[in-house]
């Protein structure tokens, strides 16, 4: 609960941090944009003023003369270009007058700046006029191409001639505006991104660590509970049996005494096995699994093992199908440890399966490996659990729900033994569809 609150608080703090960084970066970007617009706005306005002084109006005058004739045509004759409205023609002619644009490029280059820009001429109003009459043929509510947002106003002009009156603006849009601004901000940007990445990585590592620790501590608590339970059961049986042995009437019945002492012996053996298992953990943890590899008659060994297992299970014995696809008679492995492996796999199939339990054991051989597959018709293991079942102390959800005895060590031992043989163990299973464990041991 405390952990969960901490996680939510940290996630919230992270979100706030991202928000603050975002606001900081966008504000810096806007400030830089304003600085850019003010610097380059002044530059292009000065450029256009310089152009007007330089041009002495010859170039522009001849264009305006041409437009005057065109206006006259629109007023009184049927001009050749009747297909386009007057404003379109005016725009085309004025826009094709390229001197101001060329002048500006040079002006900006001389100022030591990058002259990559697009030049826009935007008509605001156009009137065809004659003495005493005026006819508006365009206003900016009708749309000719207009300058994009962020373009800088270089100058506003009004020209009055005999047959027309026009007002237009010249805009300059720097193609690399955003790139130039971002270039100036690269240090701030990369620091902000790096800080965020760093904080995110630390957050996720801490979170993962915390979850692993929580899971480990839960597993350890479960283990201690299970162990206590497992140790207590034989102890109480021994206690009851030994008190019974002290009873005079029972001492006189030889059969009863034998039965009770047998019971005590068995429980004692079970206890010492349990204690051995628990003590083993330390040895196994230090990677001290010592195996003694010998030649074994595999088929014979497996048949004996399965028969022994069935006998031990008594009336709970499952049906076990054996299949041998072996080329050689003998294989090299540690017989004692491999018997533990097989017993663990078989007893898990019985423990977790629902009767009638059916088990298939198949032995195959490849050029390099002895392959043993143990499959069952049990409840199967979900994908999520498959990631953990070979871990020490791990117990599946089903085993806890159905209160199935165990310490979560069986498959951990199995993996240790197989790895000590330089082999591998894998599992194919899905929830509700049985499990198949495949062991591969190098020959
Ligand atoms: P334990 O049996 O003591 O819980 P194991 O290491 O042998 O420990 O198994 C770990 C978990 O894997 C079990 O708790 C169980 O959830 C799951 N498991 C193992 N074998 C099977 C099987 N054949 N079918 C279904 N679940 C299994």
- Please report the atom of ligand 1 found closest to the CA of residue 400: 14
Does the pLDDT of residue 287 top 70, yes or no?
no
**301 CA to middle of ligand 1, Å?**
24
Per-position b or e across 218-246, b if 16+ CB within 10 A of its CB: ebeebbeebbeebeeebeebbeebeebee
- Please report the atom of ligand 1 found closest to the CA of residue 349: 23
The answer to whether the CB of 375 is under 6 A from ligand 1 is: no
Pick the range with the lowest mean pLDDT from 193-202, 351-360, 401-410: 401-410
Output phi, psi for 344, to 5 deg: -60, -45
The answer to whether the CB of 381 is under 6 A from ligand 1 is: yes
278 or 355, higher pLDDT: 355
- Please report the atom of ligand 1 found closest to the CA of residue 396: 16
Banded pLDDT at 416 (limits 50, 70, 90): confident
Q: Across 53-196, where does the E strand assignment appear?
A: 117-130, 133-139, 152-160, 164-174
pTM above 0.95, yes or no: no
Banded pLDDT at 56 (limits 50, 70, 90): low
Residue 378 neighbours by CB under 8 Å, 6+ apart: 349, 352, 353, 354, 357, 434, 435
Residues 431 and 38: their CA atoms lie apart, in Å, by 67
Does the pLDDT of residue 292 top 70, yes or no?
yes
Question: Nearest C-alpha to atom 14 of ligand 1 is from which residue?
Answer: 395
Question: Nearest C-alpha to atom 12 of ligand 1 is from which residue?
Answer: 389
User: Above pLDDT 90, what percent of the chain?
Assistant: 50
**389 CA to middle of ligand 1, Å?**
7
pLDDT one-digit tens code per residue, 256-268: 889 888 889 988 8
pLDDT of residue 278: 74
Please, are residues 426 and 437 in contact by the beta-carbon 8 Å criterion? yes
Question: Strand pairing of 358-365 and 319-325?
Answer: parallel
Banded pLDDT at 68 (limits 50, 70, 90): very high
The answer to whether the CB of 398 is under 6 A from ligand 1 is: yes
The answer to whether the CB of 338 is under 6 A from ligand 1 is: no
161 or 217, higher pLDDT: 161
- Cβ atoms within 10 Å, residue 151: 22
pLDDT of residue 78: 64
The answer to whether the CB of 349 is under 6 A from ligand 1 is: yes
**8 CA to middle of ligand 1, Å?**
33
pLDDT of residue 357: 93
Please, are residues 196 and 180 in contact by the beta-carbon 8 Å criterion? no
Residues 389 and 403: their CA atoms lie apart, in Å, by 17
Per-position b or e across 68-84, b if 16+ CB within 10 A of its CB: eebbbbbbeeebeeeee
The answer to whether the CB of 377 is under 6 A from ligand 1 is: no
**439 CA to middle of ligand 1, Å?**
16
Average pLDDT over residues 344-371: 94
The answer to whether the CB of 396 is under 6 A from ligand 1 is: yes
Residues 242 and 6: their CA atoms lie apart, in Å, by 53
Does the pLDDT of residue 251 top 60, yes or no?
yes
Banded pLDDT at 65 (limits 50, 70, 90): very high
**234 CA to middle of ligand 1, Å?**
23
pLDDT of residue 408: 86
Does the pLDDT of residue 181 top 80, yes or no?
yes
243 or 141, higher pLDDT: 243
Banded pLDDT at 83 (limits 50, 70, 90): low
- Please report the atom of ligand 1 found closest to the CA of residue 405: 3
Question: Strand pairing of 369-376 and 358-365?
Answer: antiparallel
Q: Half-sphere exposure (CA, 13 Å, Cβ side) for 84?
A: 12
Question: Nearest C-alpha to atom 17 of ligand 1 is from which residue?
Answer: 396
Tokens, residue 13 = 């703090």
pLDDT of residue 286: 60
pLDDT one-digit tens code per residue, 106-153: 999 999 988 889 999 999 999 999 888 888 888 876 677 788 888 999
Nearest to 45, CA basis, from 154, 122, 152: 154
pLDDT of residue 232: 84
398 or 319, higher pLDDT: 319
**315 CA to middle of ligand 1, Å?**
22
Average pLDDT over residues 306-312: 87
Does the pLDDT of residue 295 top 90, yes or no?
yes
2 or 387, higher pLDDT: 387
Among 392, 404, 411, 416, the mutation site with the greatest number of ligand 1 atoms within 8 A of its Cβ is 411
Question: Nearest C-alpha to atom 1 of ligand 1 is from which residue?
Answer: 408
The answer to whether the CB of 376 is under 6 A from ligand 1 is: yes
- Please report the atom of ligand 1 found closest to the CA of residue 407: 3
pLDDT one-digit tens code per residue, 314-353: 788 899 999 999 999 999 999 888 998 999 999 999 999 8
User: Above pLDDT 70, what percent of the chain?
Assistant: 95
pLDDT of residue 442: 95
The answer to whether the CB of 86 is under 6 A from ligand 1 is: no
The answer to whether the CB of 406 is under 6 A from ligand 1 is: yes
The answer to whether the CB of 408 is under 6 A from ligand 1 is: yes
| Rounded (10°) angle between helices 410-420 and 335-352 | 150
Please, are residues 434 and 380 in contact by the beta-carbon 8 Å criterion? yes
Task: State the sign of the Cα–Cα–Cα–Cα dihedral 232, 237, 240, 245.
Answer: negative
Supply the mean pLDDT for the chain: 88
Residues 165 and 170: their CA atoms lie apart, in Å, by 17
pLDDT one-digit tens code per residue, 187-233: 988 999 999 999 999 999 998 998 888 888 887 787 787 778 778 87
Q: Half-sphere exposure (CA, 13 Å, Cβ side) for 268?
A: 9
The answer to whether the CB of 117 is under 6 A from ligand 1 is: no
The answer to whether the CB of 234 is under 6 A from ligand 1 is: no
- Cβ atoms within 10 Å, residue 430: 12
The answer to whether the CB of 395 is under 6 A from ligand 1 is: yes
């Amino acid at each position: 609960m405390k952990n969960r609150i901490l996680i939510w608080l940290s996630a919230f703090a992270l979100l706030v941090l991202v928000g603050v960084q975002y606001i900081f970066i966008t504000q810096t970007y806007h400030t830089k944009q304003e600085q850019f617009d003010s610097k380059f706005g002044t530059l292009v306005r000065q450029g256009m003023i310089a152009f007007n002084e330089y041009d002495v109006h010859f170039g522009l005058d001849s264009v305006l003369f041409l437009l005057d004739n065109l206006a006259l045509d629109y007023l009184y004759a049927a001009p050749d270009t009747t297909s386009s409205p007057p404003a379109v023609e005016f725009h085309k002619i004025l826009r094709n007058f390229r001197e101001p644009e060329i002048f500006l490029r040079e002006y900006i280059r001389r100022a030591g700046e990058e002259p990559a820009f697009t030049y826009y001429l935007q008509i605001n109003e156009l009137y065809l006029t004659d003495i005493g009459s005026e006819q508006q043929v365009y206003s900016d509510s009708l749309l000719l191409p207009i300058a994009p947002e962020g373009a800088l106003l270089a100058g506003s002009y009004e020209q009055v001639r005999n047959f027309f009156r026009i007002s237009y603006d010249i805009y300059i849009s720097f193609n690399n505006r955003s790139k130039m601004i971002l270039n100036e901000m690269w240090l701030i940007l990369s620091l902000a991104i790096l800080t965020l990445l760093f904080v995110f990585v630390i957050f996720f590592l801490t979170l993962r660590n915390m979850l692993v620790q929580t899971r480990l501590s839960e597993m350890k608590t479960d283990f201690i509970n299970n162990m206590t339970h497992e140790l207590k059961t034989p102890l109480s049986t021994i206690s009851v049996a030994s008190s019974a042995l002290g009873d005079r009437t029972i001492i006189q019945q030889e059969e009863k005494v034998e039965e009770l002492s047998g019971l005590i012996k068995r429980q004692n053996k079970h206890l010492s096995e349990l204690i051995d298992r628990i003590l083993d953990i330390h040895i196994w943890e230090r990677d001290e699994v010592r195996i003694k590899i010998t030649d074994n008659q595999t088929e014979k060994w497996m048949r004996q093992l399965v028969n022994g297992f069935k006998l031990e299970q008594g009336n709970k014995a499952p049906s076990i199908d054996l299949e041998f696809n072996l080329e050689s008679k003998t294989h090299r492995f540690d017989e004692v440890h491999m018997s533990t492996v097989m017993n663990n796999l078989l007893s898990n199939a019985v423990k977790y399966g629902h009767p009638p339990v059916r088990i298939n054991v198949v032995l195959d051989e490849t050029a390099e490996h002895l392959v043993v597959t143990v499959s069952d018709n049990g409840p199967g293991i979900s994908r999520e659990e498959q990631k953990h079942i070979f871990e020490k102390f791990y117990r599946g959800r089903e085993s806890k729900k159905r209160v199935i005895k165990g310490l979560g060590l069986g498959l951990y031992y199995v993996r240790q033994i197989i790895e000590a043989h330089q082999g591998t163990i894998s599992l194919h299973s899905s929830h509700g569809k049985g499990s198949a464990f495949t062991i591969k041991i190098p020959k």
